[in-house]
Every structure is written in structure tokens, then in C-alpha cells.
């Protein structure tokens, strides 16, 4: 009776490589969740600052969005410093540098890693480690700059034409758009658990928003300084102005989903792009391309270009710029380490955190608000647990995992080399 064939050295190396890949994916996923929680805290803080800014009479959604996006250009400063230092170092002669740059030299590598790299071939390894050039990064930033700007400006502008409850409910539709568009581009697996989680998250948002709309309208706050007289927005005088506000909120949800999905499709892994350079170009293109829109809105009377007239408003604008500068950078990292659906549903956690913030500000929340916040929290946990099973979850449309026939992102598929007879 023949003995069972012993696993070859390559099979053992393949198993170890896949185990390491799965472990690294789990670690990145946990890090991404932690980064997302940081973003939720920062965005909740920004919401309170923006609300206070608007209550003080300075309602400029385009200007706020323009300044926040323009702050990304500060990320170009570290890049310029690095490039200057690299050029300075290139002037220093180094005998071994030409040899290192000219050909590949394996150093300090164990036997398993050497076997794995030898089996993949140079072409596969170069594809996995391919990094976007500065030109490609600039082209990507130019493409995503209008998507990001429209997603943020439209939700801010919708508050001028519709209620906060309607804007919040329609903006939360991004979960449905993210799941649908993500399935279309094969970066999200459509499962029953994810669909239920998105629906329950939307239901929690509806509970909180409707509860806010049913509360008695508070007395209008008196600005710290009397604002200068401004022209009335002609759009708000129309009886159907709330329809425009609802449309802008829904447009924000759509562009937000397009932004995160296409960014995931184009970048795939954070190691393929310099995130500081990417956001720096986004800020630069925003400064250059978006200022005519502000002039146009000023000329037709929709949003007058006016400088902040109080120190409180100036401080609020600066704080918002600082929060956007850090939170959006961290947010994209969290999305690349997890999935677009996780971060989209996770951003709904700003509601439970806002309820907690109101509690510390001595603003008790209604029972309906607390229930809605708990529902949102549970839906996020449900999506996280389901998405962490990305190795085994089956798509509702295909009946099998989407990546069953393709190489997982970030992993190297090891195929047996064909044996050719002499």
C-alpha cells in the first residue's frame, strides 16, 4: 500500500504565506476600526462646532467646504521637504547605491520567504508592490476632488433649504448606495446580514431625526455680534425650496458612496499610494478650480462672500479646518484597511456619540433618540462582524464568495508551475 504523499516544501511555504496574509488582514482590519472610531469622534466635534457657527449667524456652506478642502494643500509641505532632502542626498556620492538601484539584491531572507518569492516570479511580485507615481497620484486627486467637494458641499447646502431631520435621513442613504455600487464594482459582497444591517442603521437614523423634528423649536439665539445686513437668498423664497434641499441631501449620499467605492477600486491598498501627496493635490486642485463657483454664487445672491465678523466665527472656521485636515486623512486609511460599507455605516456612530455629548452638555435626550442610537450602534457591530468573515461570506447573487476566482487584495496567488517534459 502506497504511503500518503508528503507535502512538498513549496506547499508548506504556500500555507505559511496564506496564514501570514490572513493574520495581516485581521490586524489591518482592527486598526481600521480603531481609526474609524477616531474619525467619528473628530466629526462629531466638528458637527458641534459647525452648529455653533451657524447659530451665531454665519451660514456659509460653500465657504466652509472650500476652506476645509483647501487645508489639504498643507500636506504638500512635507512632500516638498522630503523631495528637497532626497535631491540633497543624491548629490552625495555613494558607491553601493547604484548597484542597489540597478538590480534586485535579496538580503537577510529566510528559506520560506525565498521559496515563496521564487515561486511567484518577478512579474507577479512587481504587480503586487506597484506604487502609483506622482503623476498618477495627481490624476487620481484631480478626479476625486469634485466628488469629495460635491459630497460635502451638498449636505451643508441642503440645511439652508430643508429641515435637519430630512437632510440627515436622506444623507444616511449612502449605506444603500455604498452596498449597491460596491457590489457592482466587486468590492462589497451582498449578503443578507449586510442588507439587514444597512436597513436597521437607516431605521435608527430615522428614529433620531424624527425625534429631533418633533421637539419644540427653541428660541432663536442672539448672535454675539450683530451680523451685517445681507441679501436674502432667492431660492429660499420658493415654496418648493425644501424639495431642492432634499435633492441636495440625496445627492450628497450618492457622491459620498461614489467617492469611497471608486477610491477603494483605484487604490486597493494604502501601500500603493502616498496619502499625504494625494490629499495635498486634492487641496491644491480645490483652491485652483473651485473659487469661480464661489464668485458665481455671490453674483446670483445664493451665498454672499463675507468675511467672518466675530472672533468666535474665525476660531470655529480654523478648528473645522484642522479637524478636516486630520479626520479625512485618517478616514481614507480606515476605508482602505476595512471596506467602504464598514466606514459608511460606522459614520452613523456620530449619532450615539452626539447623544452622549448632549448628555454632558446637560441636554437630556428623549427615549426615542436613545433607542435610535442603540440601533445604529448594533447595526455597525453587525456589519463589522459580517465583514470580518470576508474569507467565507457568500454573495446573494452568485451563491459563492466574490473572490473565489480572483486573487484577494493584497495577497499573492501561488500557482503550481507547469512541469515540462524534456
SS (H, E, C) 366-389: CHHHHHHHHHHHHHHHHHHHHHCC
SS (H, E, C) 154-206: HHHHHCCCCCHHHHHHHHCCHHHHHHHHHHHCCCCCCCHHHHHHHHHHHHHHH
Average pLDDT of 52-60?
79
Tell me if 188 sits within 8 A of 341, measured CB to CB.
yes
Q: What is the DSSP letter of 31?
A: H
- pLDDT per position as a tens digit, 235-278: 544 446 677 877 888 898 899 889 889 888 888 777 888 888 99
Find, among 136, 137, 149, the residue nearest to 286 by Cα: 149
Average pLDDT of 389-401?
64
pTM (predicted TM-score)? 0.71
Q: How far apart are CA 256 and CA 344, in angstroms?
A: 9
Q: How far apart are CA 279 and CA 325, in angstroms?
A: 9
Q: How far apart are CA 117 and CA 125, in angstroms?
A: 8
Residue 146 above 50 pLDDT?
Answer: yes
Query: Which runs of consecutive H residues, i.e. helices, occur in 306-415?
Result: 311-337, 340-346, 350-360, 367-387
State residue 323 phi and psi, 5-degree precision. Answer: -65, -45
Q: How far apart are CA 359 and CA 418, in angstroms?
A: 66
pLDDT category, 51, cuts 50, 70, 90? Answer: confident
Residue 390 above 60 pLDDT?
Answer: no
Q: How far apart are CA 172 and CA 199, in angstroms?
A: 10
Tell me the domain boundaries of the chain. 30-88+131-217+228-404
How many Å is the maximal CA-CA distance in the chain? 97
Tell me if 372 sits within 8 A of 206, measured CB to CB.
yes
- pLDDT per position as a tens digit, 303-333: 888 888 888 888 989 998 999 889 888 988 8
Amino acid at each position: 500500500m502506497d504511503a500518503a504523499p508528503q507535502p512538498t516544501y513549496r506547499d508548506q511555504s504556500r500555507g505559511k504565506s496564506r496564514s501570514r496574509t490572513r493574520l495581516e488582514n485581521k490586524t489591518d482590519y482592527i486598526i481600521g476600526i480603531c481609526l474609524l472610531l477616531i474619525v467619528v469622534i473628530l466629526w462629531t466635534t466638528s458637527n458641534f462646532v459647525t452648529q455653533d457657527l451657524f447659530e451665531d449667524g454665519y451660514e456659509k456652506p460653500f465657504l466652509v467646504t472650500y476652506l476645509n478642502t483647501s487645508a489639504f494643500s498643507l500636506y504638500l509641505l512635507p512632500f516638498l521637504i522630503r523631495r528637497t532632502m532626497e535631491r540633497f542626498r543624491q548629490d552625495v556620492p555613494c558607491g553601493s547605491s547604484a548597484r542597489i538601484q540597478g538590480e534586485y539584491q535579496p538580503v537577510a531572507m529566510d528559506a520560506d520567504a525565498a521559496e515563496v518569492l521564487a515561486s511567484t516570479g518577478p512579474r507577479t511580485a512587481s504587480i503586487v508592490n506597484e506604487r502609483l507615481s506622482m503623476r498618477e497620484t495627481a490624476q487620481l486627486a484631480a478626479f476625486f476632488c469634485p466628488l469629495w467637494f460635491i459630497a460635502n458641499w451638498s449636505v451643508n447646502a441642503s440645511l439652508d433649504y430643508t429641515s435637519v431631520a430630512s437632510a440627515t435621513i436622506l444623507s444616511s442613504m449612502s449605506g444603500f448606495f455604498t452596498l449597491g455600487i460596491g457590489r457592482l464594482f466587486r468590492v462589497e459582497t451582498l449578503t443578507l446580514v449586510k442588507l439587514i444591517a444597512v436597513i436597521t442603521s437607516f431605521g435608527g437614523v430615522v428614529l433620531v431625526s424624527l425625534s429631533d423634528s418633533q421637539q419644540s423649536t427653541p428660541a432663536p439665539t442672539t448672535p454675539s455680534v450683530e451680523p451685517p445686513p445681507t441679501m436674502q437668498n432667492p431660492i429660499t423664497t420658493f415654496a418648493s425650496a425644501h424639495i431642492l434641499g432634499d435633492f441636495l441631501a440625496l445627492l450628497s449620499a450618492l457622491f459620498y458612496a461614489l467617492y469611497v467605492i471608486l477610491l477603494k477600486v483605484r487604490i486597493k491598498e494604502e501601500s500603493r499610494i502616498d496619502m499625504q501627496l494625494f490629499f495635498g493635490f486634492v487641496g491644491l486642485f480645490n483652491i485652483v478650480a473651485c473659487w469661480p463657483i464661489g464668485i458665481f454664487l455671490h453674483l446670483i445672491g445664493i451665498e454672499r462672500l463675507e468675511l467672518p465678523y466675530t472672533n468666535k466665527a474665525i476660531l470655529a472656521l480654523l478648528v473645522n479646518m484642522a479637524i478636516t485636515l486630520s479626520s479625512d486623512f485618517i478616514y481614507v486609511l480606515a476605508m482602505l484597511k476595512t471596506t467602504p460599507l464598514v466606514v459608511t455605516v460606522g459614520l452613523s456612530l456620530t449619532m450615539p456619540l452626539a447623544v452622549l455629548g448632549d448628555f454632558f452638555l446637560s441636554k437630556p435626550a428623549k427615549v426615542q433618540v436613545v433607542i435610535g442610537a442603540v440601533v445604529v450602534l448594533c447595526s455597525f457591530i453587525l456589519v463589522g462582524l459580517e465583514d470580518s468573515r470576508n474569507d467565507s461570506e457568500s454573495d446573494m447573487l452568485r451563491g459563492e464568495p466574490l473572490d473565489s476566482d480572483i486573487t484577494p487584495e493584497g495577497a499573492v496567488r501561488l500557482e503550481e508551475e507547469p512541469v515540462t517534459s524534456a
